[in-house]
């Protein structure tokens, strides 16, 4: 199997999204999976860079904060750094090697670029602008069990798919196609949970600082990051629901249904523990606290799980931070129209047989309305 360039004359109009014949030239001229290609173009049209923001005033705000608020801000920033590091590498090492549709491959490349070269760099720029030792901040991420354990269950799914990808490439005797498909399905669920469950509580914490009139540039930058992640989340919903309705993949989805549900449960429980750690000093930040943040996790988790056909873990939820809507919309009119069109396009492409509750929940998540 030629991993990078297969010289076979491949008919990409009949190739599956994953685990097909292989890859050769990027056939983006073909009128296939047009919705994925359009979403990629829209994402590129919304491109921004870490250098778009300066943090001089944030540094002044940080110096004026008490130690409890400083610790809260830095804890949150450290976890955001970890998640984006995982997200970018996941796209490159988990999904790109097994993607055999050119349009989806193109999507993954821009997705990974944004995570690695925009989001991660943004967090680094924020840390470097603050009156702290940046090296110590980043070094602490790798020795802080509170941070590392929060994403552990997610990373395990990704690591297993990397191993299965290698077995397929090397044609090992113990390679099993069905096991590989199950692993891919769980990695898609894991990416969905990472983008839309774990990130959300950290984003709303960043926005709470801005709502209190401090760390405004950080809040603006994280808003841009959230808008990108909403698009990434929407694509995972698209892929999960597409594959679930594919007879070639239905059995794999059925086989891991309980494990997928457990994955979300573990992610949510890890979020609860993280929130307790985040607010262990009884820090006061108007508009948010441990109890409110846990309610916000439940609210978003229900939307996310419903969007991928999983039974929510909590039936009755509400949004305790209704002010979050402003952070799901761009302040730029042209950009906002692109974001709304992208969201509406995906809503029309995911699964026409989904219940009304699904459509309402996903529309609310994507557009903030």
Out of 79-88, 202-211, 292-301, least confident range: 79-88
Q: pTM of the entire structure? A: 0.89
Residue entry with tokens 């494990």:
259
pLDDT tens digit sequence for 112-141: 999 999 999 999 999 999 999 999 999 999
Give the pLDDT of residue 69.
95
Is domain 42-367 annotated with CATH 3.40.50.300?
A: no
Residue entry with tokens 């014949």:
21
Contacts of 1 (CB under 8 A, 6+ apart): 22, 168, 169, 171
| Distance, CA of 61 to CA of 82 (rounded, Å) | 24
Cβ–Cβ under 8 Å, residues 329 and 336: yes
Give the pLDDT of residue 282.
86
Beta bridge partner(s), residue 18? 99
Give the start-to-end residue ranges of the domains of the chain: 42-367
Q: What is the mean pLDDT of the chain?
A: 87
Out of 84-98, 170-184, 332-346, least confident range: 332-346
Q: What is the DSSP letter of 285?
A: B
Give the pLDDT of residue 28.
74
| Distance, CA of 282 to CA of 315 (rounded, Å) | 29
| Distance, CA of 143 to CA of 209 (rounded, Å) | 26
- Residue 191's SS3 state is helix
| Distance, CA of 185 to CA of 260 (rounded, Å) | 9
Contacts of 20 (CB under 8 A, 6+ apart): 10, 100, 101
- Residue 151's SS3 state is coil
Residue entry with tokens 């439940």:
298
Per-residue pLDDT band at 74 (split at 50, 70, 90): very high
Angle between helices 290-307 and 257-278 (to 10 degrees): 160
Beta bridge partner(s), residue 288? 285
| Distance, CA of 311 to CA of 352 (rounded, Å) | 19
| Distance, CA of 269 to CA of 267 (rounded, Å) | 6
Per-residue pLDDT band at 165 (split at 50, 70, 90): very high
| Distance, CA of 361 to CA of 241 (rounded, Å) | 15
Q: Most distant CA pair in the chain: distance in Å?
A: 64
Residue entry with tokens 């916000």:
296
Q: 359 pLDDT exceeds 60?
A: no
More confident residue, 242 or 334: 242
For residues 66-71, give the mean pLDDT: 95
pLDDT tens digit sequence for 199-247: 899 999 999 999 999 999 999 999 999 999 999 999 999 999 999 999 9
Give the pLDDT of residue 333.
38
Out of 12-26, 80-94, 207-221, least confident range: 12-26
Give the pLDDT of residue 3.
67
């Amino acid at each position: 199997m030629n991993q990078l360039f297969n010289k076979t004359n491949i008919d990409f109009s009949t190739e599956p999204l994953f685990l097909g014949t292989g890859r050769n030239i990027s056939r983006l001229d073909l009128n296939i999976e047009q919705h994925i290609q359009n979403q990629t173009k829209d994402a590129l049209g919304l491109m921004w860079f870490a250098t778009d923001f300066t943090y001089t005033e944030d540094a002044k705000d940080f110096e004026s904060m008490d130690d409890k608020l400083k610790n809260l801000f830095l804890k949150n920033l450290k976890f955001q750094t970890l998640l984006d590091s995982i997200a970018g590498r996941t796209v490159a090492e988990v999904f790109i090697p097994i993607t055999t549709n050119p349009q989806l491959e193109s999507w993954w490349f821009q997705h990974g670029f944004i995570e690695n070269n925009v989001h991660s760099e943004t967090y680094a720029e924020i840390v470097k602008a603050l009156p702290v030792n940046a090296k110590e901040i980043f070094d602490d991420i790798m020795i802080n069990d509170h941070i590392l354990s929060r994403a552990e269950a997610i990373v395990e799914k990704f690591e297993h798919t990397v191993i299965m990808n290698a077995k397929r490439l090397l044609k090992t005797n113990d390679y099993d196609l069905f096991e590989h498909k199950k692993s891919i399905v769980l990695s898609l669920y894991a990416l969905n949970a990472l983008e839309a469950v774990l990130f959300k509580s950290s984003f709303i914490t960043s926005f709470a600082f801005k709502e209190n009139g401090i760390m405004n540039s950080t809040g603006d930058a994280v808003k841009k990051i959230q808008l990108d992640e909403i698009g990434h989340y929407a694509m995972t919903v698209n892929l999960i629901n597409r594959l679930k309705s594919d007879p070639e993949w239905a059995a794999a989805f059925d086989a891991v249904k309980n494990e997928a549900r457990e994955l979300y449960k573990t992610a949510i429980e890890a979020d609860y523990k993280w929130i307790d750690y985040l607010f262990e000093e009884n820090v006061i930040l108007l508009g948010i606290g441990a109890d409110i943040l846990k309610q916000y996790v439940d609210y978003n988790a229900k939307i996310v799980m419903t969007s991928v056909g999983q039974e929510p873990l909590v039936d009755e939820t509400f949004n305790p931070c209704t002010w979050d809507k402003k952070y799901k919309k761009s302040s730029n009119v042209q950009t906002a129209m692109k974001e709304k069109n992208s969201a509406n396009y995906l809503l029309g492409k995911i699964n026409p047989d989904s219940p009304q509750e699904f459509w309402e929940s996903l529309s609310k998540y994507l557009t903030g309305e």
